Amino acid sequence: MASDSLNGLKVAILITDGFEQVEMTEPRKALDQEGHKTSIVSPKDAQVKSWKFTEWGEQYPVDVPLSKARAQDFDALLLPGGVINPDTLRTIPEAVAFAKAFFDAGKPVAAICHGPWTVIETGAARGRRVTSWPSLKTDLKNAGAEWVDQEVVLDRGLITSRKPDDIPAFNREVTKLFAGAHGG
């Protein structure tokens, strides 16, 4: 049962085709169980298609098209990974601006696996301690971050994790941090 401090928290999940299915569905389920309202925000208008480890996965309806999304309408941001998803998002100026607005407003952000690629584009990786899928290590260091190999890292409102195996720790820390967005 959700605590009163979490009721009404609005969480944007910024994704496009090729997001790692479990990196969206498991954190979303944990957030929903805590009483949050999660919404898929995407540059796609109708549906987004997931990647399921080695092949295409399920499709999910887009709740808010990116063209209509406003960061001020949300309390927190979730950035799932998958290689295709964040590599595409970081090339879309509106997606980068949307994510950057969360950092600018001091709102909590959670990124897993390749999700920190989008964080790099916002400029928010600089000076932060982060983790990610190992192939992003050099990219994050070049962006001014301190990269560490840990299952979950929290630094100034940004939570990062490495991979699907880290989801239990990621979910635990995400729900704690996002609860703080409501003063809970």
pLDDT, residue 3, reads 39
Task: Please give the average pLDDT of every successive group of 10 residues along the chain, which has 184 residues.
Answer: 54 98 98 95 97 96 98 97 97 98 98 98 98 98 98 98 98 90 57
Which of 41, 77, 113, 143 is catalytic? The answer is 113
| C-alpha span between 130 and 147 (Å, rounded) | 5
Which of 90, 114, 128, 163 is catalytic? The answer is 114
Q: Is there a contact between 125 and 116 (Cβ–Cβ < 8 Å)?
A: yes
pLDDT, residue 115, reads 98
Please report which residue ranges of 107-166 form alpha helices under DSSP H.
116-122, 137-142
Domain boundaries, the chain: 4-180
Count of C-beta atoms within a 10 Å radius of residue 183: 6
pLDDT, residue 141, reads 98
| C-alpha span between 111 and 99 (Å, rounded) | 11
pLDDT, residue 125, reads 98
| Fold exhibited by the domain 4-180 | Rossmann fold (3.40.50)
One-letter amino acid at 50 equals S
126 is catalytic: no
Count of C-beta atoms within a 10 Å radius of residue 37: 14
pLDDT, residue 182, reads 61
182 is catalytic: no
pLDDT, residue 179, reads 82
| C-alpha span between 102 and 17 (Å, rounded) | 22
